[in-house]
């Protein structure tokens, strides 16, 4: 793998799980922007948002993305809202492939509801029930994901291994170009 891989997409599409496995198999560094932010702040996303608000969290997220511009041979799992930092994506795309991981809202809801850690760590963006929130957020962000992505993978019916294999094939094909 010659280039960096940036995984974008909504909550619960598998960016962190797939990204960590991909990096391990490719012998690359792995970064998760949410983890970078929570490590730097010393508290959870929920705590950051509760104390400082979503705007502050987005500012921390933007700083984390900016630090990644100079990284080489890495896989980056971005937060679902990282796509909102549009000006940074032009720079990031110069250093790697952007892959949009997506899945249908019912699949994402099932994953979120089955992940107690996710429910506790990530506060609501809108205050609506999880299904309605996902639909609303994805309606707003999907055009940005689509516009930014070099490739799209539907992880809704895939295992982590399947997704890693598909991304590896994409990376191998682009290395030959």
Confidence class of residue 120 from pLDDT cuts 50, 70 and 90?
very low
Confidence class of residue 135 from pLDDT cuts 50, 70 and 90?
confident
| Whole-angstrom distance, CA of residue 139 vs CA of residue 79 | 17
Contact 4, 74 (CB under 8 A): yes
Indicate the number of domains in the chain: 1
**Model's pTM, two decimal places?**
0.91
Q: Provide the CATH number for the domain around residue 142.
A: 3.40.50.300
Residue 55, CA distances (Å) to 37, 62, 87, 107 in order: 13, 10, 16, 28
Q: What range does the domain containing 101 cover?
A: 4-176
- Token digits of residue 77: 């799992």
């Amino acid at each position: 793998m010659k280039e960096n891989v940036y995984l974008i997409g909504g909550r619960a599409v598998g960016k962190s799980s797939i990204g960590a496995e991909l990096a391990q198999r490719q012998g690359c560094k792995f970064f998760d922007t949410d983890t970078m932010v929570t490590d730097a702040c010393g508290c959870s996303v929920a705590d950051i948002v509760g104390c400082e608000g979503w705007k502050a969290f987005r500012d921390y997220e933007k700083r984390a993305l900016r630090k990644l511009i100079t990284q080489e041979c890495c896989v980056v799992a971005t937060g679902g809202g990282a796509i909102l930092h549009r000006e940074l994506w032009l720079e990031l795309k110069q250093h790697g492939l952007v892959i949009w991981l997506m899945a249908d809202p019912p699949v994402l809801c099932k994953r979120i509801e089955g992940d107690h850690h996710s429910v506790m760590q990530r506060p609501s963006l809108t205050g609506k029930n999880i299904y309605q929130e996902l639909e609303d957020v994805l309606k707003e962000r999907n055009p940005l994901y689509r516009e930014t992505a070099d490739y799209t993978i539907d992880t809704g019916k895939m295992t982590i291994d399947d997704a890693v294999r598909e991304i590896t094939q994409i990376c191998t094909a682009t290395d030959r170009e």
